[in-house]
Chains A and B, each alone.
Chain A
Amino acid sequence: MTTTPVRQTVTLTVNGQEYTREVPTYRTLVDFIRYDLGLTGTKEACSVGVCGACTIELNGRIAASCITLAVRADGADITTIEGVADGDTLHPVQEAFINYGGFQCGACTPGQIMAAKALLEHNAHPTEAEIKEWMMGNLCRCTGYYQIIESIQAAAEAK
């Protein structure tokens, strides 16, 4: 067994910008994003892929960055919550979460936004049942979920 961490070079694109970092092979993608790149919008909560706080877009599909190794994401195209707004113009999903009270403490919100944005890109006018099925992997301990559903419905209508 080696005593110093095995390190490897990872090059990937996050929010349109290419980054190269040398990291231990065991570095998770969420830690890479937060600590190696300093993009702390993405949160880690459950650490086992269940709660949705660490949701990012990986090569066009949402994924759990807490159970993805950074070395496996080498060469990937990633979008995090920092890449959702267009400059100072918020994404319609972000606007809706503000206008409809889709968050309180905010810990789950980046993951909620990433998941909701992916839902509307996949299905522009989801039914309430479709919203619930898609979003069930994003836990929230504050809102009671109804305002999150209303926010997503409002964002769908705004589009």
Chain B
Amino acid sequence: MHDFTFHAPDSLSGALDLLAEHNGDAKLLAGGTSLTTLLKQSLIAPDHIVSLHRVPGLDSIEASNGELRIGGLVTQRDVETSPVVKEHAPLLAEAYRRVATVRIRNVATVGGGIAQADPAMDPPPSLLILGASVVATSTRGERVIPIADVYADYYETTLEPDEIVTELRVPAQPSGAGWTYIKYLPRTEDDYATVAVAAIGSVEGGSIADVRVALGAVAPTAVRASVVEEALTGQTPTLGALREASQAVADIVDPTDDPRGSAWYKRDMSVVFTRRALEQVLGVS
């Protein structure tokens, strides 16, 4: 493994100062489950690592004004098991529950996962349809970025090198709406998905009032299927309507061939699992 200087500041301001000082030459380490793997495989070789394990105050989960506020250093396991999260956004708890294994979720953090921006991670599709936003903090101040504007490409975000993800904000899920997270994978349950679909939907007076759907693992970032949402809103929820609308997903995904499936298979399965997710959340069978 490459040689690096390891910093363990005991405050957020200390961490921000170090990032500013070594701008572009330092990597942040939170839980470390992704970063340490990249280091071991020599995929990254930073001269400085700034670890956040001594930084206090970024590990709480709170609900206020219909919004969840989750500290950047909250572990993925704590999101999964939080009664507050389960009450306000059960989809979010379920999405984090499906990440890897308990051994990883015990350590991996919310902020670390967002900054890693692996498009095959489980939370991103749910974060997109819940309308989450991210608080990025640097010595220059704070900015709040909609999650859709954070993800830029495979493992790339619009976060600046001197910024830390200090908070994830998630509006409460609409109560009474159907929701699902389908992780389709032919291998073991702890693997990355071949295709992942998150959806929320509700029917009022016989027509579709609210429908939201996003996919993971089938494009350089998680993608929201706005074209499906627009086609279905106001429609009568029938199997035929869902089948027809789901076809549009084939044109918005951009999968690659890998051991989890070929590109054409993932494209086909994106359509199939979008339809199944919509059937579930809209109560169509």
A24 close to chain B: CB less than 8 A? yes
Return the contact of B32 from the options A5, A24, A68 (Cβ within 8 A).
A68
A92 close to chain B: CB less than 8 A? no
CA distance A126 to B106 in the complex (A): 19
Inter-chain contacts of B102 with A (CB < 8 A): 62, 134, 137
Contact across chains for B6 and A49 when beta carbons are under 8 A apart: no
Return the contact of B5 from the options A25, A48, A72, A136 (Cβ within 8 A).
A25
Contact across chains for A137 and B32 when beta carbons are under 8 A apart: no
Q: Contacting chain B: which of A34-42, A50-58, A81-89, A151-159?
A: A50-58
Q: How large is the interface on A (under 10, 10 to 19, 20 to 34, 35 or more residues)?
A: 20 to 34
A105 close to chain B: CB less than 8 A? no
Return the contact of B36 from the options A1, A69, A134 (Cβ within 8 A).
A69
Shortest Cβ distance from A81 into chain B, in angstroms?
Answer: 15
Of the listed residues B8, B33, B37, B101, the one surrounded by the most CB atoms of chain A closer than 10 A to its CB is B101
B64 close to chain A: CB less than 8 A? no
Contact across chains for A26 and B189 when beta carbons are under 8 A apart: no
How many residues does chain B have at the interface if contact means C-beta atoms less than 8 Å apart? 30
CA distance A26 to B27 in the complex (A): 14
Inter-chain contacts of B40 with A (CB < 8 A): 28, 47-48, 67
Contact across chains for A26 and B32 when beta carbons are under 8 A apart: no
Inter-chain contacts of B190 with A (CB < 8 A): 50, 136-137
Contact across chains for A137 and B103 when beta carbons are under 8 A apart: yes
Inter-chain contacts of B3 with A (CB < 8 A): 1-2, 5-6, 24-26
Inter-chain contacts of A74 with B (CB < 8 A): 8
Inter-chain contacts of A25 with B (CB < 8 A): 3-6, 49
Contact across chains for A71 and B103 when beta carbons are under 8 A apart: no
B47: nearest residue on chain A (CB-CB)? Answer: A1
Which A residues, 81 to 112, have Cβ-Cβ distances below 8 Å to chain B? Answer: none
B248 close to chain A: CB less than 8 A? no
* A63-B2 contact, Cβ under 8 Å, with A47-B40, A72-B53, A137-B190: no
A64 close to chain B: CB less than 8 A? yes
Shortest Cβ distance from A4 into chain B, in angstroms?
Answer: 8
Contact across chains for B103 and A63 when beta carbons are under 8 A apart: yes
A8 close to chain B: CB less than 8 A? yes
Contact across chains for B189 and A69 when beta carbons are under 8 A apart: no
Inter-chain contacts of A121 with B (CB < 8 A): none
Return the contact of B104 from the options A26, A47, A115, A137 (Cβ within 8 A).
A137
Contact across chains for B1 and A26 when beta carbons are under 8 A apart: yes
Interface residues of B (CB under 8 A from A): 1-6, 8, 29, 32-33, 36-37, 39-41, 47, 49, 51, 53, 77, 100-104, 106-107, 188-190
Interface residues of A (CB under 8 A from B): 1-2, 5-6, 8, 24-26, 28, 47-50, 52, 55, 58, 61-64, 67-69, 71-72, 74, 115, 133-134, 136-137
- A-B contacts, 11 of them at CB < 8 A, read A2-B3, A5-B3, A8-B6, A26-B2, A61-B77, A63-B106, A64-B33, A64-B103, A67-B40, A72-B8, A137-B103
* Interface pairs A-B: 3 shortest CB-CB: A137-B101, A26-B1, A61-B106
